[in-house]
Structure 1
Amino acid sequence: MMRWLMLGMLLVMPFEKNPYLKISDNFMGVIPDFTVIKCLGLLGLILVCWQILTGQVRLGLLESAPGRTYITFLLLTAFAAMMTGAAMRGITRFMSLALFLPIMLVGLRNLVDFRRLLFLLLGVLILCLPYAYRQYLRYGGRLGVGLYEANYFALALILLIPLAFIIARQQDRLWLRYAWFGGVIAMLVSVVMTGSRGGFIGGLICLLALSIRMAQQRVFVPILALAGLLVSVIVFPTVLGERLVASGIGSSGVEVADAHGVSASNEAHTDLFYAGIRMIQDKPMFGVGLGRFKDESLNYYPTLVKARIAHNTYLHIGAESGLIALGCFVLFLILVLQSLNRSAQYALALHEPRIYEWVIGLQCGLCGWFVSAFFVSAQYEKFFWAVIFMTIVLERLLTDAYWDRVESAPSPMNPGPGAWPTWNPA
């Protein structure tokens, strides 16, 4: 039952903003924008609690350093919200995201379950692209309109592009390899069509990291390829290229910048940055209150044309919840990368090269997302948290598998030091 709930949550995740999937404006006055995915999350939480109380499963939420840090971050955020008198809406948004973690801890029993969920997450994102193109042709503008917000859609794509590429090259059957590579190309084209500058920069970072890991000594080859990609995006007539050129507005870029709203966007980003800094300077401990950045932005920077969110994940968290919560969030991201590093070592010790390569893809995708988060307020994005929680569960699954094999092996195995593993396609 738990596995089917997870599958259902992932299937509707890209379409959550569809009005047909909205159940009510709120649930019992506690959960705002009550949608199908939140309903499934509540059902999953009830099942998790039942299985724990009846002794069927162990949750193990505090067994890993990332899990403990995430719980600490949630508590710090909730405490800061209480100290500032923030509305319940901001708190429940984070708490509703937290439902993913216990559901995955209970639902993913082994590496086979993890593989199914990983492939489903990628498949859902790739298969929703035709619908995204249809909405793009219907509404115009940038890809993502009518399905998702363009910038958030770009972040979801760059988060999973390295993993999709690795899975494509792992396929033994030729038609499957072509199909997966076709999906990778569609994802890359979609990032360009979103016109997201922050998403594109993060995409370059994750692709560069992946290329360097794979190329080893031939580093100049992927660098030249990515440079060629950047030049082609700028030279050919794309919304992203025009927005990138207009970002450094010169004598020939003013009209283009005005046409795509780049001038207003650049000015708003700069003003919002200073507004966020002033919020942190004014209330460094607990922030201005969870969910209040948009309302407070005009008070801290009156020259803003209208109230906006921060367009910077780290600045947004620091301004709303304080520097302590921000530091805990950054520590959590670092521990997630370290967790993936340990997972890679266990995968090598278990002689699981495919899982090792998946870990490499997750690392590169997350690195690109961390960079893009400087340009977008994406702390509530479900694709990001789904991947984060899957990495936490993966370490536990690999650790259990490793020690099970150690107990049955004639001599103990050593997973090796915790250094960042080198690419080993063999």
Structure 2
Amino acid sequence: MMRYLLTFAILSLFLPIRLETGLVLLRPFELITLLSLIIGLTTGRWRGLVFPASFLLLLPFLGWDMISAFSVDIENGLRELLQMSAVGAFAFVLTQEARRLDTHQTVNILLFGMVLILAYTIAWHVAHGYPVGWKHLFDPRLVFTFLPITLAGLLLFAGRAKRRHLWFAWAGLLPLLVLSGERKAFLIYLFLTAALLTRGRLAAMVPAIAAGFVGLFVISTTMDNAYIQKQLQTMLDPLSMGQYEYLAAKGKYAPGDTPSNVQRSFAFTLSRRLISEHPLMGVGTNQFKNIIDTEFRSLPEELRLGIHGEFQRILTENGIIGLSLYLLIWVAAWFRLSRVLTSALFHGLIGAAQARLLPLVVLVPCAFYVGTEASGTRAFVTLILVSLLPELTRHGLCLVLNRARRSRPTSTSHSRFLGRALPGSTR
């Protein structure tokens, strides 16, 4: 039951169900997390609580985030305290359940739920007259980003027969991502495709990614739809920044600009100024948006948004201290996961390709997501999953190893951890 509750909690973050209150924004995520916490604490399910390093590393950053929020004002601090309490409770529940969580089944449930949300998103847009550009439902559109990550994880460890079907599904994602106009999802898909095809060999990934951008250029020049053509062309020049001065002065976008590029350009310029003025502790959690609403209220509404990128936002609002605590979680997750995978490779539970690919398939796309998306519960949950990934992987391997010993007491050479190793992955 807890497996389904945790999975539904994650899937609820992609649903357009929310309740605006005077203080916080409530989603089903908070209610499901609370229910999971009550069940775990009242049923005696968690005998002997565990607090691994991956959980403890989250606390300094989350605590600093709340302290920084209270430095702005009490209401802002209380709002952040409630949000951090919800995501902290989710991290606590997931930490206690990691010992008995069946990774394979959990990922399959996530994939099935994402496919349903994807179908709903596409059907809604088509029914409302949007044959392309499926980005008008803010929450459900994020499934375009996370579905490739989930599918890639299954591809990495699936058996030979199942992997053929998954590759067909992987190829079918490409036209959907192009039509959706979700640029970050397309770039993640391109990176994951290169990583999977080259089995995680970095020397081979570079030309593979370059070939992908050449293909992207060809598609952009042959595409008839103006919207898709513009979205593809902006991906070919990812470092281009919009001209927000042009919009502010003339009331219209410069030729070739997109609203998101212009907003990012404005946010980058303002955050650079604020970082130089408050480098160590930042301006305070959520204060960036307050500054925009106060000092730049004359600008168009599409410019007066928050920072789209956690690394930039944390440095701006929480300073060097906050960013250091945040980066520590990512660095620790990478090295701790590498140690777990090295040990699993040594004991023959996974192959070399799987050991190389898992950090690339999960950590790199998640870092790209939080680095380009606005802050919120989804960004914090992504951080929690990244931090706990070594524990989830280690306990998943132990669970499968124990099953293998019970079924074949004299042999553990054929691990069933998320399926068999990729053919040739031991090279």
Which TM-score applies when normalising by structure 1?
A: 0.76
Structure 1 residue ranges (4+ consecutive) displaced by more than 4 angstroms after TM superposition: 214-221, 246-250, 257-261, 298-304, 398-405
Query: Equivalent of 2:260, from 261, 265, 270?
Result: 265
Residue 148 of structure 1 is matched in structure 2 by 139
Gaps of 5+ in 1: 251-256, 411-421
User: What does 1:249-328 correspond to in 2, within 5 Å?
Assistant: 262-299=257-294, 304-306=299-301, 307-328=304-325
Q: Is the 8 A contact 2:288 2:306 kept in 1?
A: yes
CA shift, 1:352, in A, is 1.9
Residue 9 of structure 2 is matched in structure 1 by 9
- RMSD value over aligned CA atoms? 4.0
User: What does 1:145-184 correspond to in 2, within 5 Å?
Assistant: 145-146=136-137, 148=139, 150=141, 152-167=142-157, 170-173=158-161, 176-184=162-170
Q: Is the 8 A contact 1:9 1:37 kept in 2?
A: yes
- Deviation per CA, 1:131-154: give whole Å up to 9, x if none: 12102213326224336264x444
Query: Equivalent of 2:56, from 68, 82, 85?
Result: 68
- In structure 2, how many angstroms separate the alpha carbons of the residues matched to 1:314 and 1:221? 28
Query: Equivalent of 1:38, from 19, 30, 35?
Result: 30
- Deviation per CA, 1:304-363: give whole Å up to 9, x if none: 433211112211122222221111111211111222212211321342227973882453
Residue 394 of structure 1 is matched in structure 2 by 392
Residue 362 of structure 2 is matched in structure 1 by 365
Q: Is the 8 A contact 1:69 1:332 kept in 2?
A: yes
Amino acid at match of 1:77: D
- In structure 2, how many angstroms separate the alpha carbons of the residues matched to 1:172 and 1:105? 32
User: What does 1:20-169 correspond to in 2, within 5 Å?
Assistant: 22=18, 24-26=19-21, 32-50=24-42, 56-61=46-51, 63-64=52-53, 66-85=54-73, 86-110=76-100, 113-139=102-128, 140=130, 142-146=133-137, 148=139, 150=141, 152-167=142-157
CA shift, 1:229, in A, is 3.5
Amino acid at match of 1:8: F
- In structure 2, how many angstroms separate the alpha carbons of the residues matched to 1:122 and 1:260? 39
1:384–1:188: structure 2 CA closer, same or farther, 3 Å change rule? farther
1:9–1:371: structure 2 CA closer, same or farther, 3 Å change rule? closer
- Deviation per CA, 1:6-36: give whole Å up to 9, x if none: 2432453432x23xxx4x544xx77x23332
- In structure 1, how many angstroms separate the alpha carbons of the residues matched to 2:388 and 2:172? 24
- In structure 2, how many angstroms separate the alpha carbons of the residues matched to 1:223 and 1:132? 29
- Deviation per CA, 1:219-258: give whole Å up to 9, x if none: 57734642344234423425444224256699xxxxxx95
1:348–1:147: structure 2 CA closer, same or farther, 3 Å change rule? same
When structure 1 is superposed on structure 2, of 264-273 and 140-149 the one drifting more is: 140-149
CA shift, 1:128, in A, is 2.4
Residue 419 of structure 1 is matched in structure 2 by none
Number of aligned pairs? 391
Query: Equivalent of 2:187, from 176, 201, 213?
Result: 201
Amino acid at match of 2:366: W
Kindly indicate whether residue 372 of structure 2 is the aligned counterpart of residue 380 of structure 1.
Answer: no
Structure 1 counterpart SS, 2:25: strand
Which TM-score applies when normalising by structure 2?
A: 0.76
CA shift, 1:391, in A, is 0.7
Amino acid at match of 1:84: V
- In structure 2, how many angstroms separate the alpha carbons of the residues matched to 1:195 and 1:102? 36
